Amino acid sequence: MSDQPPAEVMEFARNYKCGHCSGDTMELVRGDGNLWHGYFRHDDGCPVQVGAVSSIPDSFRALPPGYEGAP
Ligand SMILES: [Zn+2]
């Protein structure tokens, strides 16, 4: 088993940018089995960080072209 996330996951993490702050770094952490979790570093006080704004639009923008899995 590889310690690297799948290529689509790496590309997603690279592409992801918050639309509400200047953060652009996502840490990928392996959960149970083959699940990878992305922890995005938002600026302090970012409305996405505090839950006031959804991060779903940013997530969809970051999906690699043709990727059909859920983010
Ligand atoms: Zn943010």
With respect to residue 68, please indicate whether it lies within any of the assigned structural domains. no
- Domain range holding 46? 7-62
- CA 46 to ligand 1 centroid distance, Å: 5
What does the block give as tokens for 41? Answer: 């570093």
Q: Which residues surround ligand 1, an ion (CB under 5 A)?
A: 18, 20-21, 23, 42, 46, 48
**Integer distance in angstroms from the first to the last C-alpha of the chain?**
22
- Does residue 20 carry a pLDDT above 60? yes
- Could you tell me if residue 71 is inside a domain? no
> Has residue 1 been placed in a domain?
no
Tell me, in angstroms, the distance from the centre of ligand 1 to residue 44's CA: 8
Cα–Cα distance measured from residue 35 to residue 52, given in angstroms and rounded to the nearest whole number: 26
Looking at residue 52, its pLDDT comes to 95
Residue 41 lies in a domain: yes
Structurally, how many domains does the chain consist of?
A: 1
Using the mean position of ligand 1's atoms as its centre, give its distance from the Cα of residue 47 in Å. Answer: 7
Q: In this model, does residue 70 exceed pLDDT 90?
A: no
